[in-house]
Structure 1
């Protein structure tokens, strides 16, 4: 029997996907281009992510059981769903490898200095494999458990940082120019478009809840929270320094003073971020395994999960270092690659939905 998840669990998965990694890797590039308006770039770029997720949900709801891949395979044969499944799985496998690389890099720099990545990667991958094999419900519940404390931390942030705000660091609106804001928005698209992962979770969403409402809550909420933290970063550090820091978001938590007894909450936030990073590795791996398994009608997913995890581990070891990795997010070809894959998947889903609807109409009229 297929596992089902509630609207809250579904939204938590989308929120984690849209907030954890961008918070660590996007601020540096966005501040370099947009300066103080980096928060606005997050919100405007988030509209693209919201559109991607809603179109994905719309296309999925056009098929039986909200399962486009399975419906295409049953209606037209196994090869009909192959283009969508391969593109989607390749994209998620790439994202899983990137997340694994980012988590192992962060850990080796700040938690376990000098520890080789190849030592950390198998442990991270092992946790992801176990969670994927257990199914969608445990993954979603972990996302919910991680996301709630993150929301509470962000709500407390203004209180802990109020004394660090410097009104003299505020620049005039669009000080870097409209072109800088547009460039920053283009950098966010590869990240916000990752909400296409809703395709693997919408089929498990309880039919009793509104899929569009919970998609908006998950994706929209993530980018609102991300925009708030981005605004706090520029209020505290200004519009120049964050562009020179490797992890501006991490440094923000190093100066929080909540009270005399609790001077730093950086360690607790680090644990939450690592849990969120591990979850992103898991969710992207789950999405790749899910669609391949449905396409080829594979019921025992253990070996597919292990093979894809090994590929992700290998790819993570050849990716560039932390400075090059953060710089990669601003490369035009890199963002075009991601956005191109996302739009290609949406186009194939829309074509499949249209063809399926036309076939149903022909059968009804015949």
Structure 2
């Protein structure tokens, strides 16, 4: 019987945002611009209530040391719940393969020299496997460092580009822009849905006195950062160019620099952003392990994460032979799947679990 490892809520939130910044930099504001136009930077602010509500609901279960696997089984029953967990495992394996492909692509791009993508892909997989075969507590401590590194890189780019923002790219905004901005919350939540796997680690967090308040603070700060990122990107590149680019944030990094110090920072930023990729890969693998031991009591951590990484490498090579296909998948089906599995199902499952618990309590009281 393996003892459950515990981490603090602060460490879990650090892991969540370190892992979210990797897909956010690739997708925002490119996926929100078609919906909201130059007001796309407001979409992540409006997504804050959704993110806060999901965390508010799930944090109640964390007091009972329940993660999302336990919530799903309690809400949907042992049979249906197990089927839903298997669905999450399949989706996690698919996203693991996609993220490995994108991480390898970033490793190749940051080198700025000839190299083989198929060399960097196993390298990324081995790094992720090394982290996931260790203790969750050690990975959580590393997550705080990973977040600090990625935030530093983001601060450099956004700080240098902020003074180059052109107001005409962002203004004016009118009341008729309200509906498009509201609709843009959907793709924004799809991007935030990459963080669903952190919810599977909730059962490993130590109960915190102010867990809901802390979650609101982390959620608010994260959404503000993503809104600032979108504002600076659109304010520098304009609506049409930002929408056409595959990764507008990294395109922005190519245009910033400090005269006399360093002219271009995109290679450094791209290299440092790999820490965000590794955080996301690690979170997915630990989440797969949590799901596996909920479905199969005798599952072993090292065996499970190794069994998850090996097919992910094969899927990554077979399903995404080129970067265009991987990026298109990330902007399409992945956002839809994240909305369903990362927002709708967790809230529905938590609600069903709460109702089931209340019914059991009433039945016990009557008896």
TM over 0.5: yes
Q: What does residue 269 of structure 1 align with?
A: 269
- Could you report, residue by residue, the CA deviation over 1:329-351 in whole angstroms, capped at 9, with x for unpaired residues? 454x6543332233234323432
Counterpart of 1:356? 357
Gaps of 5+ in 1: none
Q: Which residue of 2 aligns with 1:40?
A: 42
Query: 1:342-366 CA deviation, whole Å, 9 max, x = no partner?
Result: 3234323432332234224433543
The Cα of 1:233 is off from its aligned counterpart by: 0.8
Query: In the superposition, relative to structure 1, how do residues 353 and 122 fare at CA in structure 2: closer, same or farther (>3 Å)?
Result: farther
What 5-or-longer segments of structure 2 have no aligned partner? none
Q: How far did residue 27 of structure 1 move? A: 2.4
Q: Does 1:14 align with 2:16?
A: yes
The 3 A distance-change label for structure 1 pair 72 and 280 is closer
TM-score normalized by the length of structure 2: 0.85
Name the structure 1 match of 2:26: 24
Q: What secondary structure does 2:207 align onto?
A: coil
Q: Could you say if the C-alpha distance between residues 264 and 330 of structure 1 is closer, same or farther in structure 2, counting changes exceeding 3 Å?
A: closer
Q: Does 1:232 align with 2:232?
A: yes
Deviation at 1:44, TM superposition (A): 1.8
Q: Is the 8 A contact 2:12 2:140 kept in 1?
A: yes
1:16 Cα shift? 1.7
In structure 1, the partner of 2:142 is 142
Q: Distance in 1 between matches of 2:21 and 2:182?
A: 21
- 1:31-110 residue pairs with structure 2 within 5 A? 31-61=33-63, 64-67=64-67, 69-70=69-70, 79=79, 81-110=81-110
Task: Identify the residue that residue 187 of structure 1 maps to in structure 2.
Answer: 187
Q: How does 1:277-296 map to 2 (within 5 A)?
A: 277-296=277-296
**C-alpha contact (below 8 Å) 2:74/2:356 kept by paired residues:** no
Equivalent position SS for 1:134: coil
- How high is the TM-score relative to the length of structure 1? 0.85
Q: How does 1:225-264 map to 2 (within 5 A)?
A: 225-258=225-258, 260-264=260-264
Residues 34 and 176, structure 1, Cα contact 8 Å, conserved in 2: no
CA distance in 2, matches of 1:179, 1:146: 37
| 8 Å CA contact 1:26, 1:326 repeated in 2 | no
Question: What pairs up with 1:157-236 in 2 under 5 angstroms?
Answer: 157=157, 159-173=159-173, 177-178=177-178, 180-236=180-236
Question: After the TM superposition, which of the residue ranges 95-104 and 208-217 deviates more from structure 2?
Answer: 208-217
Whole-Å separation in 2 of the counterparts to 1:70 and 1:233: 40
What's the counterpart of residue 111 of structure 1?
111
Q: Which residue number corresponds to residue 121 of structure 1?
A: 121
Residues of 2 paired with 1:264 and 1:175: CA distance?
Answer: 39
Residues 1:54 and 1:143: Cα distance change in structure 2 (over 3 Å): same
Across the two proteins, how many residue pairs are aligned to each other? 363
What is the CA-CA distance between 1:78 and the residue it aligns to?
A: 6.0
Q: State the Cα distance separating 1:150 from its structure 2 match.
A: 3.1
- The Cα RMSD (Å) is 3.1
Select between 279-288 and 265-274 the one with higher mean Cα deviation. Answer: 265-274
CA distance in 2, matches of 1:202, 1:49: 15
Segment of structure 1 superposing worse, 338-347 or 281-290: 338-347
Instruction: Name which of structure 1's ranges 162-171 and 125-134 shifts more when overlaid on structure 2.
Output: 162-171
Which shows bigger deviation, 108-117 or 68-77? Answer: 68-77
1:232 Cα deviation after fit: 0.7
Alignment partners' CA distance in 1, 2:59 and 2:264: 41
What is the aligned partner in structure 2 of residue 306 from structure 1? 306
SS in 2 for 1:28: coil
